[in-house]
Structure 1
Amino acid sequence: MITTKPNDIDEYIAGFPKEIQIILEQVRATIKKAAPDATEKISYAMPAFALKGNLVYFAAFKNHIGFYPLPIVDEALKKEISVYKTGKGSIQFPLNQPMPLGLITKIVKYRVQQNLKPKEKK
């Protein structure tokens, strides 16, 4: 487990046991495929992707992968996410279940659409 702030996502992932590294790489690859123009970074000491603003973050914990797509307002996605433990802007994917890569893809594509949508002027 990481005790210092990593410089990049490779360094972050390398700080975990092999079985967790595999899951983190799957999540990372899924995000990259769903948002190929997004850039990787470390933010809040977590792996993050940005595309015209923050897109998603993810992090490994003892019993789950935390996924942080910021608040989701799409009702269909909210329904799919509801089977997982959630908080404001966060979802916990348990490590003892298959990682829902299809759902992660849908969420990332949704976030890309949100970020690329022209902002409304106040």
Structure 2
Amino acid sequence: MSEIDDYIAAAPEVVRERLVAVRETLLRCVEGGTEAFRYGMPSVMIDARHGLHYATWKKHLALYPIYRGDEAFEAVVGPFRAKTDSVHFPHAKPLPLDVIELIAEVLNARR
């Protein structure tokens, strides 16, 4: 098992499916993306230095770093912003995979 597999396995059962869905979405949307375990979190690397990190917390799943985008991007992503460069998806709500796909596609296109 990899560190990422261990991280997912250690998560509460109700959160595991969400982590797997994020992992699969990021790997599908980031062309040539590779997995890494950085800063104590699973990551899908866009290149050697840049990646999308995801982590689960008690009440939400988070993606880092999500930098500000144009007006159209912020209209979709903005409601999920928790801090300047992170987004939070509460466990109590459905996981918006379409938003995660948009984030991955936009960051992938910027490289």
State the TM-score, normalized to the length of structure 2: 0.90
Structure 1 stretches lacking a partner, 5+ long: 1-6, 116-122
Q: What's 2:40 paired with?
A: 45
Q: Is the 8 A contact 1:70 1:90 kept in 2?
A: yes
Query: More helix by proportion, 1 or 2?
Result: 2
Equivalent residue letter for 2:84 = K
Which residues of structure 2 form unaligned runs of 5+? none
The Cα of 1:19 is off from its aligned counterpart by 1.3
Match status 1:83 vs 2:79: yes
Instruction: Give yes or no for contact 2:35–2:43 (8 Å, CA) kept in 1.
Output: yes
CA RMSD of aligned residues (A): 1.4
Contact residue 48 and residue 54 of structure 1 kept, 8 A: no
Superimposed CA distance per residue, residues 41-63 of structure 1 (whole angstroms, 9 cap, x where no aligned partner): 01100011112231311100000
Question: Which consecutive aligned stretches of 4+ in structure 1 deviate over 4 angstroms post-superposition?
Answer: none
Aligned identity (percent) is: 28
Counterpart residue type for residue 21 of structure 1: R
Name the larger-Rg structure. Answer: 1
Say which SS state the counterpart of residue 24 (structure 2) adopts: helix
How many equivalent pairs are there?
109
